[in-house]
Structure 1
Amino acid sequence: MISFSRYLPILSWGRHYDRSALSNDMVAAVIVTIMLIPQSLAYALLAGLPPEAGIYASIAPIMLYAIFGTSRALAVGPVAVVSLLTASAIGQVAEAGTAGYAIAALTLAGVSGVFLLLLGVFRLGFLANFLSHPVIAGFITASGILIATSQLKHILGVSAHGHTLPEMLGSLLAHLDQINWITVVIGTSATGFLFWVRGNLKPLLKGLGAGPLLTDLVAKSGPVAAVVATTLAVWAFGLDQAGVSVVGSVPQSLPPLTLPGLSPDLISALLVPAILISVIGFVESISVAQTLAAKKRQRVDPDQELIGLGAANLGAAFTGGFPVTGGFSRSIVNFDAGAETPAAGIYTAIGLAIASFALTPLVFYLPQATLAATIIVAVLSLVDFSILKKTWGYARADFTAVVSTILLTLGMGVEVGVASGVAISILLHLYKTSRPHVAEVGLVPGTQHFRNVKRHAVETSPHVLSLRVDESLYFVNARFLETLVQSRVTTGCDIKDVVLMFSAVNEVDFSALESLEAINLRLIDMGVGLHLSEVKGPVMDRLQRTHFIDELNGDVFLSQFDAWTHLMSAKPTAR
């Protein structure tokens, strides 16, 4: 049972499921379902797919995640950034509105699902760490701007296109003569109302004495109210005949069984976008899941989360959906509404299934401008320019990474933005570790502690150079240490011994070993001893497998103080 529970978390939490959890999960499911109906339709629109695809992508994936996922509160389904990435990816292989476009969306979900499952099975979740937080923040901010801009055409009622910010703005300006002012009124009114609901409705209800449950339910129903009001207005006044674009006919059915495209050419064309979508989706999902789990002292297994998200995406691929991941806003709502177990997701899926079968005729007159307003209000919360100020004040390299990611995403599209974000994250790490901090240290008087000579009043000796290496040594920075030691031990100086303090060194790769050997040989030629201190066990184990320790022109000391005491016993000290 333990081994099955590891891969099927439902067997773990399901054994302790009780009436109290059922009640809390049902309440959360009602609130999230109300929120998801307009949101799912809107994100399908963003992905360039029929509106029902958003509903379909929110049913089977949620159920599958509830079985395989480990988060008690994560709500899986279409999200803004992944929907934008989906539109960008499949728009390059098929034309929107065609059968090939829908098949490409299914294939993209399927490839993403397989990739996530493989990462989970082989426990490779750590690969997502190659995306630094500043780069992720920059990409999400730029994506929020792109998504909001892409929806302006629906607010204005014009035909526009483009995948980058300059393309979108240029296309909008070129079609300003097509503006439908009735659509503008509907879109701006819905946007203003939704912003008001988000910021003011909950405090107003609390001031009127409403209970927390009623407050949450009414506040989260804001998008539904906008949908109902604008739909009734279009229907009552026949505004669709006046040029207002509406959702139109939506199939009244449960999610169909579908089959992704199996063409090698299609799969190869979507492979890289699928990997990028998987990585971005997983990073967003695991961040939300771990944040919510920490609030209740629960544990989330990143590798099992990969399996859960992989299963969810495969579910979307075979039930008419498109790529999905854990959504930030809906997960927060699910958590705040009191969800105790993933069963809340199952109840949400049942609610959406009922909606897809019974309520879809009611959205025929739903204006696309209202769905666009829903998207704009949702994604603008993703835009966070404060990261620029924070990184500028803390680390200019991180600031450069954020700005580069934002500009590349806005100027060249989301796929280039994601790819460049990964590359920038890796290059940033390589840059930071290529010049490791190496401090000359001395003895703090009256103690056995050694500190940086530039920061503390310490005892040093003109005959002993003690260097504390504050980074693991590998091929990128090996020559840096070699050059540094060479520059400090020059002809005519009084240094007779060099001590490398390895207290912060967790790894020495083969390139670094060769550099240490080169340092040792050069110091031998100069008549200078090379010593090591505070070498960690795993590092020492590896060094002892080579001839380096035997050929070392010095000793290996347990502590820096031992090295100092031994070398000072024959040499005078100076302050």
Structure 2
Amino acid sequence: MLWPERPLVSLSYPRESLTPWLRVYRHSSFMGCFVYIFFGSTKEVTVGPTAIMGLMAQPFVLTYGDDFAVLLCFLTGCLITAMGLLRLGFLVDFISLPVICGFTNAATIIIGSSQISKFFGISGRSESFIDALKKFIQHFMEIQLWDTVLGVCSIVTLVLLKNLPGKRHGNWLKKCMWLICLARNAVVVITGMVLAYCLSLHGQEPFKITGNITAGLPSFQPPPFTTIHKNETYTFVDMMNILGSSVISVPLIALLESIAVAKAFAKGKKLDSNQEMIAVGLCNVFGSFARSMPTTGSFSRTAVNNASDVKTPMGGLVTGALVLLACGLLTSTFKFIPKATLASVIIVAMYYMLEIRVLQVLWKTKKLDLIPLVVTWLVCLSAGLDIGMIVGIATNLGLLLYGTARPGLLIEERTVNDIPVLFVSPLQSLKFPAAEYLREQIMTWCDISKNTNIIVLDGRNIIGIDATVAKNLSLLNLDLESKKQRLIFWNWCENARKTLVAFDSSTDSHFRTFGDLVELEEILTSAEIIRKESSNL
């Protein structure tokens, strides 16, 4: 029930380049199951090839051979393991929900669009979302009737099975329905395979099928650091140059997928992100010795484990054993699987991965978060997933830094006991990028409000300041004194006061302790008297 979901993406690629790609995809299906037993922290998680990992590794395999995917798997494992050992799990927190959603939506569209030609029985393969649309339009007249009919029937069946009611506990009918719905992908694929086989016995081949697939298990050997492809030798440096940014983006995406899956099924239990990183990293390191491509936690297979009520990570032993059994004995039967059926399974899976609701939520709550989401989405579709992820993170960090450099300020003029007062309340803590901005804003308002002689800087939202902020506050105090105006630090915490006083001891007399408005009125009255006396001098 678990295994047929693993190679669906790989089987749906065109026949002319299928052999190396299918081989590396198949070799990726079992090692993670065994390694995660010893190092994993979540009993439901299953590590193996995923659609997104396949999409990232596919171009290298189809163009340069499977050695590049194996090396990428090894490097991915080393980097993720090192991050886990160095306790760098917090770095994942810098990748926000909008960036993740934009990346996921783009990946689902790219993967889904790559199956359009197989769904309609059109020959050829596409390199990107735009390329898939172009080729579909160019070969529109080549659409095959029976492939299309089979694809539509497969999609309808998958959707119906997903929405049919069924319970694991109850009478035998409910249990059977639950089992069929749970294994709906396998049911549809096997049904299509049996149909194609029966028709072939009568000399009919109305559907495009996968074709012969070489059986067998991989030879265990160290990952390649040099390779020869089409009579051309590639050194390690050459391979690294070809892999490019994927050496960074693939580990990052693998880590994101795995942590997201583990969190989704943690069920309120504390998740050790660093241990999860070590587990996924070692799965890739050991997997590279079995000719694997990069792997990570799979949501669909983890969901099957969860629905099956798996009790311990030892469930991976059963999964891995079934995969090895299938690779060794059942490979010859896969040649009858119709490509339209595989394409339907992938398209339906990608449809349910789309996160559209998050767009509505962000539009109603915080529209600014739509910027990194849309940027990530569009760049991933146009320039590739790895570049899109990097650009999305950079965009999000830029917005984060902008918010730090331009904090919200509540500035209002009040009259207290006939004394004009300018109240300035930062709405968040102050960091050094905002130091000059705060000073400029206060001085600008003081120039506009010429009758204002006292400025109250409310520090209730400030939990601490750094040296740059302290220097600018000291300069602000000197600027105001030169204009015969007085600055009062009101409601500041002791930590922030100590930092400023240590930098400029003359500011100590400007601090006032916590108090209500009545006490503030008395403070302002005395401050006005002091200001007038200093002005007379």
2:425 is the alignment partner of 1:468: yes
Aligned equivalent of 2:301: 330
C-alpha distance in 2 between matches for 1:422 and 1:540:
35
**SS of the residue 1:465 aligns to:** strand
The one-letter code matched in structure 1 to 2:392 is G
Instruction: Give how far 1:462 is off.
Output: 4.0
Q: How many residues align?
A: 512
Instruction: Give how far 1:483 is off.
Output: 1.7
CA gap of 1:181–1:255, structure 2 versus 1, over 3 A, is farther
Bigger mean CA offset, 47-56 vs 374-383: 47-56
Aligned equivalent of 1:275: 248
Aligned equivalent of 2:531: none
The one-letter code matched in structure 2 to 1:547 is F
2:385 is the alignment partner of 1:414: yes
**Residue number among 469, 475, 478 corresponding to 1:512 in the alignment:** 469
Bigger mean CA offset, 211-220 vs 479-488: 211-220
Query: Contact 1:254 / 1:356 at 8 angstroms: preserved in 2?
Result: no
Deviation readout 1:414-471 (Å, 9 max, x if unpaired) = 23321221122112212333321222489xxxxxxxxxx9xxxx97974443432222
**SS of the residue 2:455 aligns to:** strand
Aligned equivalent of 1:40: 6
**Residue number among 232, 235, 250 corresponding to 2:214 in the alignment:** 250
Which protein is bigger by CA-based radius of gyration?
2
CA gap of 1:316–1:186, structure 2 versus 1, over 3 A, is farther
Query: Contact 1:69 / 1:305 at 8 angstroms: preserved in 2?
Result: yes
Instruction: Give how far 1:143 is off.
Output: 1.5
CA gap of 1:431–1:283, structure 2 versus 1, over 3 A, is same
C-alpha distance in 2 between matches for 1:344 and 1:152:
35
Equivalences for residues 430-469 of structure 1 within 5 A:
430-440=401-411, 462-469=419-426
2:260 is the alignment partner of 1:287: yes
CA gap of 1:542–1:280, structure 2 versus 1, over 3 A, is farther
Query: Contact 1:438 / 1:469 at 8 angstroms: preserved in 2?
Result: yes
Deviation readout 1:490-541 (Å, 9 max, x if unpaired) = 3763444433333333453444344323322212322333343444565556
Aligned equivalent of 1:84: 55
- Percent identity between matched residues is 23
Query: Contact 2:486 / 2:527 at 8 angstroms: preserved in 1?
Result: no
Aligned equivalent of 2:289: 318
CA gap of 1:173–1:507, structure 2 versus 1, over 3 A, is farther
Deviation readout 1:280-321 (Å, 9 max, x if unpaired) = 22223222322322x2x4211112211111111212222122
C-alpha distance in 2 between matches for 1:508 and 1:130:
23
**SS of the residue 2:214 aligns to:** coil
Instruction: Give how far 1:486 is off.
Output: 1.0
Instruction: Give how far 1:554 is off.
Output: 3.8
2:520 is the alignment partner of 1:564: yes
**Residue number among 176, 182, 186 corresponding to 1:220 in the alignment:** 182
Query: Contact 2:70 / 2:292 at 8 angstroms: preserved in 1?
Result: yes
C-alpha distance in 2 between matches for 1:542 and 1:62:
54
2:495 is the alignment partner of 1:522: no
**Residue number among 93, 105, 111 corresponding to 1:129 in the alignment:** 93
**Residue number among 130, 142, 154 corresponding to 1:190 in the alignment:** 154
CA gap of 1:466–1:374, structure 2 versus 1, over 3 A, is same
The one-letter code matched in structure 2 to 1:564 is L
**Residue number among 56, 76, 100 corresponding to 1:112 in the alignment:** 76
Aligned equivalent of 1:171: 135
Aligned equivalent of 2:274: 303
Segments of 5+ residues of structure 1 without an aligned counterpart are 1-33, 443-452
2:95 is the alignment partner of 1:140: no
Instruction: Give how far 1:149 is off.
Output: 0.6
Bigger mean CA offset, 499-508 vs 73-82: 499-508
RMSD, aligned α-carbons:
3.2
Query: Contact 1:42 / 1:54 at 8 angstroms: preserved in 2?
Result: no
Deviation readout 1:177-196 (Å, 9 max, x if unpaired) = 43333333333322222222
Aligned equivalent of 2:532: none
CA gap of 1:253–1:509, structure 2 versus 1, over 3 A, is same
The one-letter code matched in structure 2 to 1:396 is K
CA gap of 1:543–1:362, structure 2 versus 1, over 3 A, is farther
Instruction: Give how far 1:381 is off.
Output: 0.8
C-alpha distance in 1 between matches for 2:110 and 2:327:
29
C-alpha distance in 2 between matches for 1:495 and 1:272:
56
CA gap of 1:568–1:540, structure 2 versus 1, over 3 A, is closer
**SS of the residue 2:410 aligns to:** strand
**Residue number among 357, 361, 375 corresponding to 1:390 in the alignment:** 361
CA gap of 1:142–1:240, structure 2 versus 1, over 3 A, is farther
CA gap of 1:271–1:408, structure 2 versus 1, over 3 A, is closer
Aligned equivalent of 2:534: none
**SS of the residue 1:281 aligns to:** helix
CA gap of 1:76–1:174, structure 2 versus 1, over 3 A, is same
CA gap of 1:571–1:476, structure 2 versus 1, over 3 A, is closer
Aligned equivalent of 2:533: none
**SS of the residue 1:321 aligns to:** coil
Instruction: Give how far 1:120 is off.
Output: 1.2
Aligned equivalent of 1:151: 115
Instruction: Give how far 1:243 is off.
Output: 6.6
C-alpha distance in 2 between matches for 1:362 and 1:430:
56
**SS of the residue 1:498 aligns to:** strand
Segments of 5+ residues of structure 2 without an aligned counterpart are 227-235, 529-537
The one-letter code matched in structure 1 to 2:526 is A
Aligned equivalent of 2:32: 61
CA gap of 1:193–1:279, structure 2 versus 1, over 3 A, is same
The one-letter code matched in structure 2 to 1:333 is V
**Residue number among 238, 241, 245 corresponding to 1:265 in the alignment:** 238
**Residue number among 179, 198, 219 corresponding to 1:236 in the alignment:** 198
CA gap of 1:115–1:539, structure 2 versus 1, over 3 A, is farther
The one-letter code matched in structure 1 to 2:503 is H
C-alpha distance in 2 between matches for 1:509 and 1:45:
58
Equivalences for residues 343-358 of structure 1 within 5 A:
343-358=314-329
2:14 is the alignment partner of 1:50: no
C-alpha distance in 2 between matches for 1:492 and 1:478:
22
